[in-house]
Amino acid sequence: MTATIDHARIARLLNQGADILKQLATEFQLDGIDASPPPNPTEMLNLGSLQQAILEALLTADENGLSPREITKMLKRGDEPNVRGTLYTLEQRGVAERLPTPKQRWRVASIYASE
């Protein structure tokens, strides 16, 4: 018994296989691409407007942090005691931390600091 080779049938089969592989390759490439921007970790904290403003100010600070007075001036506010109270609240929530210095200096907690 002699087997006959149907070249057209083999060609169709190979083309179908190639199409499947191309589609699979495209899906693998798309899996590595996240079209949405990375999530902002502070968005899930439900911060109030003053808390958010203070956090944003702290994010601009260098390794020396900021004093409550500096933050108050940056935010163009006249209520430093309210800024201090909000800093304490942010500290309790793990968002801000005091620097171990004689003068009160604050920075964003390391888990929220951008590298």
Confidence at residue 41, expressed as pLDDT on a 0 to 100 scale: 62
> Cβ distance 71 to 85 under 8 Å?
no
Residue 34 has pLDDT above 60, yes or no: no
Q: Residue 38: which pLDDT band, with cuts at 50, 70 and 90? A: low
Fold topology of 43-108: Arc Repressor Mutant, subunit A (1.10.10)
With a pLDDT cut of 90, the percent of the chain lying above it is 49
Report pLDDT digits (tens) over 47-97: 899 999 999 999 999 989 999 999 999 999 999 999 999 999 999 999 999
Confidence at residue 75, expressed as pLDDT on a 0 to 100 scale: 96
**Which residue is associated with the tokens 């304490």?**
88
